[in-house]
């Protein structure tokens, strides 16, 4: 096969992937999938879980439960105690989740990237200028959770959550193909801005971004019985102390968490775009 033919085949595969995951009625498909994922009838649940495991490569060997009645419960599974350990160094921010590392580095004023060559503005992702100013010129790291990964996320350090703002939006797929083709994708999708402070008062922001299909975000310290979108868009002040590694919430489908810090942090050793990382591994460290 010539190089030209190989390139055409690759582009065709990209086109098909983008069509199947983004040009269908995303919100309707997401709502329908959310309902089907909760069905416990084995005639539906078993084929759905089988297809999910086959296409996603999900490994349930670390799951806390040996069997699940529906796809939703398998997807948001807890892990066995001790399955993830968290770097204890107080100068380290640990990864809040299992993920593939996406775009990361220094925020250039208000500018950062969703993928190489695709910039977006911090102020578009985080509309409150006072909140965005906390991390201006700081560091960011994009963590993408694929469909088969463990989907709960945890505190990267001892910290205090002070406010959560829900932002309604679309549910575009967040895979690299979509990130390359959809301008400012993270700024268009449903998301939450979680404001927190480290023990010394330094601010940290976590922005979980929902995606196509179930597209749900739940936060333990607010209410695990209702999806975040069901609680409205009014910013919610809180005073929730969480310890390093403590579960903060989960996604009900594959998505992304973007972690932001002010200046004074750098990426930990071995962290770069394309790295695979597990919850608890060193993600950022304070600059010397």
Pairing of strands 247-251, 118-121: unpaired
Judge whether 186 and 258 are in contact, CB under 8 Å: yes
Q: What are phi and psi of 285, to 5 degrees?
A: -135, 155
Judge whether 277 and 271 are in contact, CB under 8 Å: yes
How many CB atoms sit inside 10 A of residue 271's CB?
18
Tell me whether residue 151 is one of the annotated catalytic residues: no
Residue among 110, 151, 154, 157 flagged as catalytic: 154
Residue among 98, 110, 151, 253 flagged as catalytic: 98
Residue among 110, 151, 157, 255 flagged as catalytic: 255
3-state helix/strand/coil string of 225-273: CCCHHHHCCCCEEEEEEECCCCEEEEECCCCEEEEEECCCEEECCCCCC
Residue 21 Cα to chain centre, angstroms: 18
Q: Which residues are catalytically annotated?
A: 98, 154, 255
């Amino acid at each position: 096969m010539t190089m030209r033919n190989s390139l055409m085949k690759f582009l065709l595969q990209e086109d098909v992937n983008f069509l199947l995951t983004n040009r269908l009625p995303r919100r309707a498909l997401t709502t329908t999938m959310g309902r089907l994922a909760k069905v416990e009838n084995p005639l539906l649940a078993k084929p759905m879980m089988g297809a999910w495991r086959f296409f996603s490569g999900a490994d349930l060997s670390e799951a806390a439960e040996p069997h699940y009645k529906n796809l939703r419960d398998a997807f948001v599974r807890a892990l066995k105690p001790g399955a993830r350990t968290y770097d204890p160094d107080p100068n380290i921010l640990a990864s809040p989740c299992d993920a593939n590392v996406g775009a990361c580095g220094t925020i250039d004023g208000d500018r950062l990237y969703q993928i190489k060559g695709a910039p977006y503005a911090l102020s578009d992702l985080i509309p409150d200028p006072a909140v965005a100013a906390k991390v201006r010129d700081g560091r960011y790291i994009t963590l993408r959770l694929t469909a088969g990964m463990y989907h709960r996320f945890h505190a990267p350090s001892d910290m205090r959550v002070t406010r959560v703002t829900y932002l309604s939006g679309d549910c575009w797929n967040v895979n690299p193909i979509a990130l390359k083709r959809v301008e400012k994708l993270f700024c268009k999708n449903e998301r939450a801005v979680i404001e927190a402070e480290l023990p010394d008062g330094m601010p940290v922001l976590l922005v979980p971004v929902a995606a196509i299909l179930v597209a749900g975000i739940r936060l333990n310290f607010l209410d695990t019985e209702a999806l975040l979108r069901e609680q409205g868009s009014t910013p919610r002040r809180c005073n929730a102390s969480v310890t390093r590694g403590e579960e903060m919430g989960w996604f009900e489908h594959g998505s992304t968490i973007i972690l932001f810090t002010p200046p004074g942090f750098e990426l930990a050793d071995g962290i770069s775009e394309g790295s695979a990382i597990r919850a608890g591994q060193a993600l950022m460290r304070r600059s010397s």
